[in-house]
Amino acid sequence: MEKLKLREDYIKLGQAIKAAGFVESGVEAKFIIQDGFVKVNGEVEFQRGKKLIAGDTVEFDGNVLVIE
């Protein structure tokens, strides 16, 4: 499980999975989100710009990211 501490009020989903090292680039993040491979709080999320706040969890390919 990875943890990502917010510097502002929120972080966008695409930025979060890139910052956590789940993907190599923003382009890769865009495609895996659009293809339905990413879950936010247990629900499949298709919006790369989804705002994540403290307490949210992101799942991808067996990896879990907790936003703090």
Note the pLDDT of residue 14.
Answer: 97
Residue spans per domain, the chain: 2-67
pTM of the prediction? 0.92
Task: Give the mean pLDDT per block of 10 residues along the chain (68 residues).
Answer: 95 96 95 97 97 98 96
Element (H, E) at 34: helix 26-34
CATH no., domain 2-67: 3.10.290.10
